[in-house]
Structures are given as C-alpha cells and as structure tokens.
Amino acid sequence: SEIVAGALQDHRRATILGTRSFGKGSVQTIIPLGSDGALRLTTARYYTPSGRSIQAKGIDPDIVVSQTEPEEKKRSTLTGESALPGHLAAEEGDEMAGSDSFVPKDKSEDKQLLYAIDLLNGARKDAAYLGAGRTTASAMAN
C-alpha cells in the first residue's frame, strides 16, 4: 500500500490523506541455515516512480489528518520501521519514527474517513486537494 500511495502521489493521480505510513521499504529473503537458524538478507529496496525511497521514512500524506486515540489504547511512542531493532537505514534524509494507525470501529468517529468524504463531496476546500501542496487539517477551515 505504501508503494501504491507513493506512486499515486508522484503522478498526481490521488490526494493522500491521513498520517505518515510505516516505512517498510525493503525486500528481505530468508535463507535457511540447516536446523539451527536462518539468514535474513536484504535483497532490494522499494522506491516510488520519482525515485523516493520509503525505507524508514514512509509516505507523507498530502493532507495530514490525525485520529484521536482513546486513552486506554494510547501507546507511549508511535512505531515505524525506523524504530525497530536492526532496521535498514534510510538512504537520504532523516528517518521518521512512527505513524498513527488507530482506526475507530464506529465510522462516525473516524476523522480521516469523514474528512475524505467531505473533501470528495466538495464540503471542504483544501489547498493540497487542489494541487497546491501539503497541508494539515488543523490549519484548514471548513
């Protein structure tokens, strides 16, 4: 999904809405080493069509819309590929740790879904949706 989102974003075929993705941008092959173990070998990296690596950085949305997580489900830190032990470092730029991944069961509480529906129905006007670049939902007025 990260590769598809990045490709759609690169070709300006979609507006990506939500929070940054996890950042898993590598292909790993497991090579068995008899009955005692295996070797995990990184054999490739994923890139978007414009050449952006998603490894340890993820895909930044065009419109950032965060979902409020209930107190009982809150984690101390957000996790992403760059937060895992032994992760493959990003090629260029800063690594990013974590992304918001909570999705409420009740659709009426899903801020990202409701924002997207409003955007598609024309109830919201957003500069990023109109091709003017990235923005945050908190900065936009109805």
Torsions phi, psi of 72, nearest 5? -70, -15
Instruction: Return the SS3 of 42.
Output: strand
Pairing mode of beta strands 26-32, 38-45: antiparallel
pLDDT of residue 91: 55
pTM: 0.67
pLDDT tens string 51-85:
998 888 889 999 999 887 776 655 555 555 555 55
Ramachandran assignment for 93, one of left (phi > 0), alpha (psi -120 to 50 degrees), beta (any other) = left
